Structure 1
Amino acid sequence: MLRRSVPALLVLAVLPALAACTPTIAVDAAPDAADPACAPVMLALPDVVAGDLEKAKTTSQATAAWGEGGAAVTLRCGVTPPGPSPDCQRVESSGGTVDWIVESNDEGTWRFTTYGREPAVEVVIPATVRETHSSSFVADLAQAVGRVEATKSCT
C-alpha cells in the first residue's frame, strides 16, 4: 500500500511548483468591483486576446489580465462610469456593439472605458503591447462587456 501512495505524494509535491509557473499580474480592484453585475462579465471573458495573449491570474476581484507582467493588457470591472466625451467611439463586432471612451497618455498607454454601462469596464493596453498588437481586439471583449446593459450611447 505504501507504493501506491508514493505517486500521490509526488503529484502533491509537483502541483505547487507547476502553479508557481502561472504568472500573476497585479491589478488594483475598481471601486465597485463587488457589484454583482461584474460576475457575468468576468465569466464570459476570453482565454486569449489579440491572437496570442493568454489570460493570466490577477490579484484582485473583478479583474483580468492577458500577457505577462509589465506587458499585460488589464481589465477592471466596476470603474466609475465616465460622462459624455468627444473621445467616445462605437465598436461593432459579431459579439455586439460597445461604446468606449478611448484615452491615451504620453507613454503610449491606451485606456478604453465603456460608456453608458454601469458598472463600467476599463481595459488598459500598455505601449509595450501596442508595439506588436493592434488594439482592435477590444471588439473581442464585446460579448463579455455586453453582459452589462447599455443605458446610453455615443452621440
Structure 2
Amino acid sequence: MLATAGLAAGCTPTIGVPVADDAANPVCADVVLALPDVVDGLHQTKTDSQATTAWGEPGAAVTLRCGVAPPGPTASEPCTTVPGADADVDWLASPDAEGTWTFVTYGRDPAVEVKVPPTVRKDHSTAFIGDLNGPVSKIPQKHRCVGLDDVPTPAS
C-alpha cells in the first residue's frame, strides 16, 4: 500500500517557472515557505526553479516567482493596495495580449510576481491575490502606491 502511494506521489507534474534574477535572496525562501497550500481551490504543485511555486495543473496554473526586479513608479499600470487578512500589499496589475494577468508587488525589494493565465481566470477570480499578502509582507515595504489625492497641491 505504501509503495503504491509513493509511486502516485512521484507522478505529480512539475511546472516550469523561470527563475528570477534575485531568487537566491534569503527573504524569498521565507516568502515561499509561508505561502498557502491552496488558493481559490487550486492546490500547490511542484515547480522546477528556486523561489517559485504554482497552484493548479500544467497549462492551467497560477505561478509565483520571488526575486524579480522591483518596478519603478508607473502611470501605465494601475497600482492597487490589496487588503489581506495579514497585511495590505501594493500590487501592479497588467494583462498581456493573450489574457494572462501579471501582478507584481510594488515598493518591495525583491519583488514578487504572480501570473494568472486565462485558463485559470475563466473559472477563478484573481481576488486570491490578497491571500498571498501575509507571506509577501515578509519583504519589507519601502514605497507605497500613491494617487492624485497624495500629490500636494498649492494652496489657493
- What is the TM-score normalised by the length of structure 1? 0.89
**Amino acid in the other structure paired with 1:60:** S
Report the structure, 1 or 2, having the larger helix content: 1
Alpha-carbon distance in structure 1 between the residues aligned to 2:71 and 2:62? 20
Instruction: Report the equivalent of 1:144.
Output: 135
Confirm or deny that 1:32 pairs with 2:32: no
Instruction: Report the equivalent of 2:54.
Output: 65
Alpha-carbon distance in structure 1 between the residues aligned to 2:55 and 2:42? 5
**Amino acid in the other structure paired with 1:85:** T
Confirm or deny that 1:23 pairs with 2:13: yes
Alpha-carbon distance in structure 2 between the residues aligned to 1:84 and 1:62? 25
Deviation at residue 56 of structure 1 after TM alignment: 0.1
**Local SS of the residue matching 2:26:** coil
Alpha-carbon distance in structure 1 between the residues aligned to 2:131 and 2:125? 12
Deviation at residue 112 of structure 1 after TM alignment: 0.2
Deviation at residue 16 of structure 1 after TM alignment: 4.7
Confirm or deny that 1:132 pairs with 2:145: no
Alpha-carbon distance in structure 2 between the residues aligned to 1:80 and 1:128? 26
Which consecutive unaligned segments of at least 5 residues does structure 2 have? 147-156
Confirm or deny that 1:42 pairs with 2:32: yes
Alpha-carbon distance in structure 2 between the residues aligned to 1:93 and 1:63? 21
Deviation at residue 122 of structure 1 after TM alignment: 0.2
> For 1:66-105, what aligned pairs fall within 5 Å after superposition?
66-86=55-75, 87-105=78-96
CA offset digits 1:74-124 (Å, max 9, x no partner): 000000100112321110121211000111111110000000001100000
* Residue range with higher mean Cα deviation, 84-93 or 131-140: 84-93
Confirm or deny that 1:116 pairs with 2:88: no
- What is the TM-score normalised by the length of structure 2? 0.88
Percent identical residues: 54
Which consecutive unaligned segments of at least 5 residues does structure 1 have? 1-9
**Local SS of the residue matching 2:31:** helix
Alpha-carbon distance in structure 1 between the residues aligned to 2:108 and 2:131? 17
Instruction: Report the equivalent of 1:5.
Output: none
Deviation at residue 34 of structure 1 after TM alignment: 0.4
Larger radius of gyration: 1
**Amino acid in the other structure paired with 1:71:** A
Deviation at residue 141 of structure 1 after TM alignment: 0.2
**Local SS of the residue matching 1:42:** helix
RMSD: 1.2
Give 4+ residue runs of structure 1 displaced > 2 Å after superposition. 13-16
* Residue range with higher mean Cα deviation, 87-96 or 130-139: 87-96
Deviation at residue 21 of structure 1 after TM alignment: 2.6
